[in-house]
Amino acid sequence: MRKILFPLLAALLLISTHAVSGEFLFKDMAGKEQRLSDYKGKWVLVNFWATWCPPCLDEMPDLVDMHNARKDRDFVVIGVAMSSGRDAVISLVEQLDVSYPIVMGDNQMAAQVGKVPALPTSYLYDPTGKLVSYQTGAITREAIENYIRSKTKQVQ
């Protein structure tokens, strides 16, 4: 199924927004606070997902790969698990070898970032901390990298 969806998903770019950045504060499952300002100088993708959501699970390997490849340079992912029990989230995170911070989320926490009308929903912040894009629905590494590349070219 992933091979069938990949061309379609790769073609989807994040939808630009004109929202102003806002600090968020989450506590991840390891007990560490996650603040947008902690990642100044990096692109930050906040990804809302759930264990029972097939498109969420389909996109996770791409997010893990991108996070692992770029976390020390210019990109991080923060995953926010919505409406899933803690044990199910821990099991899935271990099964998929998720290396980025995972937060147990709820609607109040999500409101710090924006609306989450469906899962998955992702919000992208640029290296200055400005919210620049979001997407409701699955996203791929290729689509994110293409978006970042297009924004980087505009700045040059």
Q: What is the pLDDT of residues 39-93, one digit of tens each?
A: 999 999 999 999 999 999 999 999 999 999 999 999 999 999 997 799 999 999 9
Q: What does the pLDDT read at residue 5?
A: 39
CB 119 within 8 A of CB 80: no
Q: Residue 75: which residues within 8 A CB-CB, separation 6 or more?
A: 42, 43, 44, 45, 66, 67, 148
Number of domains in the chain: 1
Using one digit for the tens of pLDDT, what is the confidence trace for 112-151? 999 999 999 999 999 999 999 999 999 999 999 999 999 8
**In 33-140, alpha helices (H):** 54-70, 86-95, 107-110
CATH of the domain at 42: 3.40.30.10
Q: Domain containing 19: what range?
A: 2-155
Q: What is the pTM of this model?
A: 0.85
Distance CA 102, CA 92 (A): 11
Q: Reduced to 3 states, what is the DSSP secondary structure of residue 3?
A: helix
